């Protein structure tokens, strides 16, 4: 069981409200001081990593570490994560994420393994100079390249689908009470709530599609959610959270998925949503709707997708794109220096109408044809 030195859990069902400022406010010297005080680490180098509402830092440390609980030096460095103030109130959720990563690590899945601090805890809740409390934790940095930065192939997109399905299957053997009653704005079932943030959207054409997508999601997806297969999902399978490495360094572009990052959006939900999110972000990388078919091919080798889920894929993928576009615009409005949140905006604005202007039958047939053709070719 994870131990904390917290002052007790707050609600796990609190959800972001328009106008709330939740990102940590902290300078680099204070980050180094936290690493020293909580983990006995003297920072030789501090590198800012991308983040939506959290702040993440890669730490290259002096190997003469003072933390007696770190008995083996991790050669790739560490990530110090300072969570946003809202999620920092959901202590049971953070415990659940921690146990999830430890569970996966124990099953040889490479992920950011949590490290105990000098007090023997996997995280602590710290008051920053802003007066707000934020959870601070240290994770092992996973080496490799993000999917975003490498030359990608049909096989790599196939791997994404296969990996996601296998991850969900493995997590069937894990449960934690911290995932009960958890709620946050990035859950796909909360797509209707993004209307509270759409004032940040300036494109009339996006607003028009947004209204249509939300209505379709409410009318066709929400009523059947109780009937869909569910389990613990990652919730944010994208090109920044997938790490790849060369299977054979002598072979150029023979990339294989080697690690999965960021369990901050993990929760119990529909497997349909996990697949839709993965397909949405992989199609964003290419701008080609057909890419979704390669993801579906890999996924289908592990879990057969029921027909009723296939019929809802288009709406769910469009819903994720809308969710990303609206929340990205809102987050950038709150913090204009955070350009990371707009990194896929141009592609999403182009991809969304390509998906939405087709029928469920047309696009579903396209994805199934691409998947079947790929599986046929790869079996020869």
What tens digit of pLDDT does each residue of 157-168 get? 999 999 999 999
Could you read off the pLDDT of 34-87 as tens digits, one per residue?
999 999 888 999 999 988 789 999 999 887 767 777 777 889 999 999 999 999
Residue with tokens 């509402």: 53
| pLDDT tens-digit map of 220-264 | 999 999 999 999 999 999 999 999 999 988 888 899 999 999 999
* Whether residue 371 has pLDDT greater than 80: yes
Q: Which residue would you say has higher pLDDT here, 134 or 343?
A: 134
Indicate the CATH number for domain 28-142. Answer: 3.30.200.20
Q: Where are the domains of the chain?
A: 28-142, 146-378
pLDDT band at 355 (very low <50, low <70, confident <90, very high): very high
**Does 290 score more than 90 pLDDT?**
yes
Tell me which of 44 and 273 has the higher pLDDT. 273
How far apart, in whole angstroms, are the C-alpha atoms of residue 98 and residue 90?
A: 13
Does an H or E element contain 115, and which? strand 114-115
pLDDT at 285: 95
- C-alpha–C-alpha distance, residues 302 and 334, integer Å: 41
pLDDT band, residue 8 (cuts 50/70/90): very low
What is the predicted pLDDT for the residue at 14? 66
What is the rounded distance in angstroms from the CA atom of residue 178 to the CA atom of residue 101?
14
The average confidence (pLDDT) of the chain is 91
Bridge partners, 46 (sequence order)? 59
- Residue 11 has what pLDDT? 54
- Distance from C-alpha of 84 to C-alpha of 14, rounded to nearest angstrom: 13
To which CATH superfamily is domain 146-378 assigned? Aminoglycoside phosphotransferase (APH), C-terminal lobe (3.90.1200.10)
């Amino acid at each position: 069981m994870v131990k904390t030195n917290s002052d007790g859990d707050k609600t796990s069902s609190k959800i972001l409200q328009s106008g709330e400022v939740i990102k940590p406010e902290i300078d680099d010297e204070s980050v180094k001081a936290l690493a020293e005080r909580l983990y006995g680490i003297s920072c030789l180098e501090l590198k800012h990593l991308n983040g939506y509402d959290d702040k993440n830092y890669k730490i290259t440390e002096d190997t003469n570490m003072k933390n007696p609980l770190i008995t083996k030096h991790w050669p790739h460095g560490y990530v110090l994560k300072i969570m946003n103030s809202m999620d920092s109130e959901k202590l049971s959720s953070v415990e659940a994420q921690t146990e999830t990563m430890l569970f996966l690590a124990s099953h040889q899945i490479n992920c950011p393994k949590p490290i105990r601090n000098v007090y023997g805890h996997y995280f602590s809740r710290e008051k920053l100079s802003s007066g707000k409390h934020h959870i601070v934790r240290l994770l092992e940095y996973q080496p490799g390249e993000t999917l975003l930065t490498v030359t990608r192939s049909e096989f790599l997109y196939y791997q994404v689908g296969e990996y996601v399905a296998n991850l969900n299957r493995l997590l069937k053997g894990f449960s934690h009470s911290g995932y009960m009653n958890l709620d946050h704005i990035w859950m796909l079932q909360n797509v209707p709530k993004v209307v509270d943030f759409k004032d940040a959207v300036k494109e009339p054409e996006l607003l028009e599609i947004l209204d249509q997508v939300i209505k379709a999601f409410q009318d066709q997806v929400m009523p059947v959610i109780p009937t869909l297969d569910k389990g613990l999902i990652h919730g944010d399978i994208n090109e920044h959270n997938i790490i790849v490495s060369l299977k054979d360094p002598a072979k150029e572009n023979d990339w294989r998925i080697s690690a999965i990052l960021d369990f901050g959006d993990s929760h119990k939900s529909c497997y349909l949503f996990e697949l839709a999110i993965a397909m949405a972000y992989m199609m964003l990388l290419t701008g080609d709707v057909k890419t979704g078919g390669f993801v579906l091919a890999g996924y289908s080798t592990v879990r057969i997708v029921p027909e009723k889920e296939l019929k809802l894929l288009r709406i769910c993928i469009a819903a994720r794109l809308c969710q990303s576009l609206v929340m990205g615009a809102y987050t950038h409005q709150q913090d204009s220096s955070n350009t990371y949140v707009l990194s896929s905006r141009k592609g999403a604005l182009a991809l969304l109408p390509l998906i939405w202007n087709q029928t469920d039958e047309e696009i579903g047939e396209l994805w199934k044809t691409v998947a079947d053709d790929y599986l046929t070719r790869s079996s020869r």
